[in-house]
Amino acid sequence: SEVIKTQNLIKHYFLEGSYIEALRGINLSIKKGEMVALMGPSGSGKSTLLHILGGIDVPTEGKVLVNGQDIFSLKEKSLARFRNKHIGFVFQFHYLLPEFTALENVMIPIQIYSKEKAREKAERILERLGLEKRLDHKPSQLSGGEQQRVAIARAVVNNPDIILADEPTGNLDSRNTEIVMNLLKELNEKNNVTMVIATHDREVAEYCSRIVYLKDGIVQS
């Protein structure tokens, strides 16, 4: 069944007196359990599309249906609830909270468990990502690649139905790329998590079941 559907998505940015057409009519249909690589040159609209699919940016025109729900018809609170429940974001700028440790950052989204269970769950996922010796480090004490893996742990710890990732392996070496992609693949295969992963990396695309190419804000067929 269809988990994400977009209808004629258009996004214009207004910058210094002129329009930038970041998305120019995107019609995409993504089935449950698909793992989609979103590829295309820099500036082709990948980040913009991911932001809109996750409801953190609004389209100028068009709709995003998630499980049939028109997400931009939701009021702000419902949209926020929807995001927390269903969507895990992995973004380039990982937005880790600097005053919290790696473990605490990963525990932030966990709400339904006791503190003890949340800690166990967060520890397990950090260990899975090879960060067992970094639990009590703050982001500033971690390398870029380690920060990226903490951000990924935080994105997946709540068992989202959908993971939206923007260059998730952008500053990782190939060993860490493999660790991260194996985890994402496992979540995809075992938990049927639907994924859209913007990437420039062919190695990353090879883990995916489909490649969607964007160019100048349009899907190339």
- Chain positions contacting ligand ADP, by CB under 6 A: 13, 15, 20, 22, 40, 42-48
Least distance (Å) from ligand ADP to the CB of residue 81?
24
- Tokens 């870029």 -> residue: 144
Least distance (Å) from ligand ADP to the CB of residue 47?
3
Q: Which is nearer to ligand ADP, 33 or 62 (CB)?
A: 62
Q: Which is nearer to ligand ADP, 46 or 83 (CB)?
A: 46
Least distance (Å) from ligand ADP to the CB of residue 18?
10
Burial 125-138 (b: 16+ CB within 10 A, else e): bbebbebeebbebb
Q: Could you give the CA distance from residue 155 to residue 217 in angstroms, rounded to a whole number? A: 26
Q: Which is nearer to ligand ADP, 14 or 68 (CB)?
A: 14
Q: Of how many residues is the chain composed?
A: 221
Q: Dihedral through CA 148, CA 150, CA 153, CA 155, nearest 10?
A: -60
Least distance (Å) from ligand ADP to the CB of residue 218?
12
Backbone angles phi, psi at 121, to 5 degrees: -65, -45
Q: Which is nearer to ligand ADP, 44 or 188 (CB)?
A: 44
